[in-house]
Structure 1
Amino acid sequence: MTIANHVGIHASQIVDVYEQIHTMEALTINPDTMAVFDRFLSLLSNEHGSEFAEQVLAQDKIRAIKPQIQHLFSLASSMYERHWAQRLVSSNTPQKVLQTEYPYFKHYQRATGLEINAINSLAADPVNRVLMVGSGALPLTSLALHNAGLQVDNLDIQQDDLLLGKQVCKALSADNQMGFIHSDICEQADLDRYDVIWLAALVGDEQLKDKIIAHLYEHMRPGAQLVVRTAFNLRTLLYPSVDEGGLAPFQLKLKIQTYADNFHSILIAQKPV
């Protein structure tokens, strides 16, 4: 079988599973639904090489549904986070539920640990205060940053998710001193107090991300770092991606392309001093 045949078959499989999800009567969190999503995610694995991925992404049938896939994945991700947030808030043993039942706990630990090590290695001065943009209903990154000794503020445009996330943080870390800000990041001007700002992968589409990055550059202090969670290869079907050029005029300091079970890749940039 030729490479072109493999590409065509893979693209058709992606479309077929997307249609299966898209035509569900209701998008709910249950074993059957999650099995379909797991199959879909496996088709978009970062383990596929760049050349193969580029050819799949160039298929007309894939290009035609890319915006719909990103929208669907954003909705599903939000629903999934709310589902687990409610479970944690209502549990008498939230730490146990998180560490033994939540499927992506180790992923968050590894990914955030990697980011923390990177920003500390790149920083000229100690990192103290950070902002998580798009903290959501399940702010596990924020908790990891807090547990690493950082002063954390959480910002989200969705008030219900922000309040649920605050409950999750209270359940998992009763004495936390994190801040919670209900706002549009593009309306926040007091960003020069942060040493590092994290930008969640699902914050905005490509066009809005450009606007957000321009706003951050205008209001962050010189020397502060920006951590952008993004995607490459077939994962760009799930997340609005940002490449190196999209970070200008920030200076790119580190690019981490993750594989296997990691969902996002990482760009770390700095506002020039």
Structure 2
Amino acid sequence: MNHVEDHASQIVAMYEHIHSMESLTINAQTMATFDQFLGLLSNEHGSEFATQVLAQAKIEAVKPQIQHLFSMASSLYEQHWAQRLVASTAAQQLLIEEYPYFNHYQRATGLEINAVKSLAEQPIEHVLMVGSGALPLTSLALHQAGLQVDNLDIQQDDLLLGKQVCDALASGNEMNFIHNDICQQQNLAKYDVIWLAALVGDEQIKNSIITHLFEQMRPGAQLVVRTAFNLRTLLYPSVDESGLAPFQLKLKIQTYADNFHSILIAQKPI
């Protein structure tokens, strides 16, 4: 067995191990197992190696199940932390000192904000976060950057929990929370930038979302799509440059730090 086949077998074996657990609960043992699994999907693996691993029949057979598992685990993880923050009497301190990915969100969102501002011909003011979820840390970072933020999520329970988190971390914020399917949301021309979370929908749904956004957004508005490349496409339904058409791609950021998603920034032509 060569290195590519061995790596593919390790990924499948780890997925099957996680899948065989009686239940997914957020605890130290489960997180250690997921960290080990994520290590197999490191962005540090080169593109040629990743392409060969992804082409393995055993990987193609389980890719949809891995994406579903990761989406479910991510949702549970966000809910776990959201509930802790809402229940805390020192939510800001808890977030900064104990949430493992706090710095990641700060840096990633800061990178995106700087990018859209540098690409925009007019000041960025009003933005929409699609798939804000139970732990809307991106929305909070956008709010802290002085932007007017609307949050949209198809899952009402997560949306309401996310609102509680925002109230706990940014008392007096004026963010809006919209329960809807983004493909049913009509009044999108008011937004200067729309963020699309990495775990919103599968590839087919993402294509439908991008088509709807193009129809509804105003010319000149920007779309930020969080996606993945190489082995990380096993975790996130990915979007490539061609998948953004007829938007015009303005910037592509392929990050090699493991906790970072990749970023596509596009604009509706003026």
| TM-score normalized by the length of structure 1 | 0.98
| Contact 2:203/2:238 (8 A) holds in 1 | yes
Equivalence for 2:18: 21
What whole-Å deviation, never above 9, does each CA across 1:89-119 have from its counterpart, x for those lacking one?
A: 0000000110010000000001000000000
Aligned equivalents of 2:31, 2:217: Cα separation in 1: 39
What whole-Å deviation, never above 9, does each CA across 1:41-81 have from its counterpart, x for those lacking one?
A: 01001000000000000001000000000000000000000
Aligned equivalents of 2:114, 2:239: Cα separation in 1: 22
Residue correspondences, number = 270
Matched residue of 1:47: which SS? coil
The match for 1:247 among 244, 260, 264 is: 244
Matched, 1:170 2:139: no
The match for 1:30 among 27, 30, 34 is: 27
Matched, 1:185 2:182: yes
The match for 1:134 among 131, 134, 148 is: 131
The match for 2:91 among 72, 90, 94 is: 94
Matched, 1:217 2:225: no
Matched, 1:235 2:232: yes
Equivalence for 1:114: 111
CA drift of 1:261 comes to: 2.7
The match for 2:72 among 64, 72, 75 is: 75
Matched residue of 1:227: which SS? strand
Equivalence for 1:148: 145
Runs of 4+ in 1 over 6 A off after TM superposition: none
| Contact 2:108/2:260 (8 A) holds in 1 | no
| TM-score normalized by the length of structure 2 | 0.99
Q: CA RMSD in A?
A: 0.7
Aligned equivalents of 1:206, 1:95: Cα separation in 2: 35
| Contact 1:155/1:185 (8 A) holds in 2 | yes
Aligned-residue sequence identity (percent) comes to: 79
Structure 2 residue identity aligned to 1:125: Q
Equivalence for 1:257: 254
What whole-Å deviation, never above 9, does each CA across 1:114-158 have from its counterpart, x for those lacking one?
A: 000000000000000000000000000000000000000000000
| Contact 1:255/1:266 (8 A) holds in 2 | yes
